[in-house]
Chains A and B, each alone.
Chain A
């Protein structure tokens, strides 16, 4: 085992790292702005991507049009879940609101089996092929776009929250929902808007990544697990750490695959990541307070 193989592994893991990072950013946004950990985040993207394939394949729409239609499906689906949360669970705890999203996760997986079958979808790659090489490892366009997308989305959201009126309103809503409503901020449309935007981002992400990896409903929907592990690094609050968490998780996975002695743990990496982070974050808690 030499350094170059490890570097190769690290670069190879960057594509999935970027994917985890984008999803982690959307999860962090949801957690900060609409007080929810959305378990259906990746499933929404999966369903949107499958719809896009169906539009292109069965209805014969041009690819670009199918992609746009798919993104709209993603935004709508996420918006509907958001509407449910805003209508019936607006005063509920984060735990309860998050638990609710498990239902759409399972619903979307089952629905995709019913509507699109359980065979892999004939995805047309939006991006394909190598962008450049580093140390003999080809870095694909998908990797470049994913990593860039993660950073861009995180930066854009950061700016939006700090510098714009909408951002200020959103922050107000998440910090003091009742006070914000009393001074006349429309909570429901804003929070549904956040849901819809993150749904659209997930849809775009899955559409970029799906053609270059396993793209059945379950593996795409379960991307939520590594994404949640990545978001945990930033405590579901910090966008920059969510990006770092996603990229590191991808890189670690890539490196572990190269070392035969430890490659058996590669399936548990997100889990280990979560356990270590939880232990670390609780390190200063004394027994009484931590309970």
Chain B
């Protein structure tokens, strides 16, 4: 019996050593590839394919130039279909069987909340190109490149009250899953900074609803001069059209970066007193040196020019820089340590310096560039000459 127990104990120990000691691909071998992954929402109703495509383009370019210290990058993107079970499986496929050293440049609707505990347990770090769900902004293992929809909410309100001088702002929230507390906190941050309060906060606006007229009428009745909405593209278009049908021609729309696209601008000829958003990265609709490298690389690879591809590009670019700073073997542990201890990276496409630890703790000064869509132009244009920043919440 004792012998049996000792045998089981020995086997358990060996297994444990095998599981921990060898976790992360052994990038130590001469010329062995560096395995990186990302979990993305590539199919379903809302998809973000550009982030990982952009990251792939950056890694391909690095590989074409000989890789990182002689190691080629192997990048594997997995689709979570916007489905919790698929997101769980995708993380396990990448971290467990592919043994990636880190997760870089993804964009998913749901992945962070579902997988953050697993990433912590496996000691793997994730740097999403675009963090969407609240889990992306409250885990020590996950540090997105973007400021996220909740900071975006604060910024769009700041833009409305401070830059545009609008006092009567109403907040309409479309809540999917458990995002309400995060958005509410975003609105409260604005109140903290400015001392102003929204006329009302309606958190019952339907997500993917069809006709928004009743909500628009309610806001118009309440005397709102601007409405701040966290809608995705189709819903935001519906809301603007409902206001147009109501003949509400002096309202300002304060949206989030999620509607910042050429497609959205093309779909709306009428935007009342204008649709304003704080662009999370330097406005891609402007011709500028700042975006030149990114837009050149995207065009070369036929990738859409969107905020999502900016996020994926930035995540991959930052990560390559971190990889180059690693002396010795590139393993999951050495990559995690390098990300934890990285020096801040400054990039003119972003308002703030990126440092993994600070981004994970949300301890930085989020900022965005105000952009507007005026009636009759069908094109976004810059609405400010500098970044709009607010003090960090820490």
Contact = CB atoms under 8 A, between A and B. Distances in A.
Nearest to B233: A120
A282 B89 CA distance: 46
Nearest to B259: A120
Given A213-B241, A214-B235, A257-B218, A15 B213 contact: yes
A5 B221 contact: yes
A227 to B, nearest CB: 11
B223 to A, nearest CB: 12
Given A120-B233, A120-B267, A138-B246, A214 B209 contact: yes
A267 interface: yes
Contact of B45 (A19, A211, A216): A216
Interface in A106-125: 118-123, 125
B209 A219 contact: yes
A12 interface: yes
Interface stretch (B116-124, B200-208, B278-286): B200-208
Interface string A234-263: 000000000000000000011001101001
A140 interface: yes
Contact of B210 (A123, A138, A223): A223
Contacts of B217: 8-9, 11-12, 137, 254, 258
Contact of B208 (A12, A119, A130, A214): A214
B62 to A, nearest CB: 30
Q: B-side binding surface: helix, strand, loop or mixed? A: helix
A212 interface: yes
A220 interface: yes
Given A214-B238, A267-B206, A118 B46 contact: yes
Contacts, number: 120
A189 interface: no
A257 B263 contact: no
A213 B209 CA distance: 9
B28 to A, nearest CB: 43
Interface string A20-33: 00000000000000
B206 A16 contact: no
A118 B45 contact: yes
Interface in B238-255: 238, 241-242, 244-247
Interface string A203-234: 00000010111111011101100000000000
Q: How extensive is the interface on chain B, given as a class?
A: 20 to 34
B270 to A, nearest CB: 8
Chain A CB within 10 A, most for which of B46, B211, B221, B245? B211
Contacts of A254: 213-214, 217
Contact of A258 (B47, B218, B233): B218
B246 A219 contact: no
Nearest to A118: B47
Contacts of A34: none
A5 to B, nearest CB: 6
A212 B210 contact: no
B390 interface: no
A106 to B, nearest CB: 13
B215 interface: yes
Given A212-B242, A214-B234, A220 B210 contact: yes
Contacts of B221: 5, 8, 136
Given A213-B238, A254-B214, 15 more contacts: A8-B221, A12-B213, A16-B211, A120-B264, A125-B241, A129-B247, A140-B213, A140-B246, A209-B211, A212-B242, A213-B242, A214-B209, A214-B234, A214-B235, A219-B210
11 contacts: A19-B211, A118-B45, A120-B264, A120-B267, A122-B263, A123-B267, A138-B247, A140-B245, A218-B45, A263-B204, A266-B204
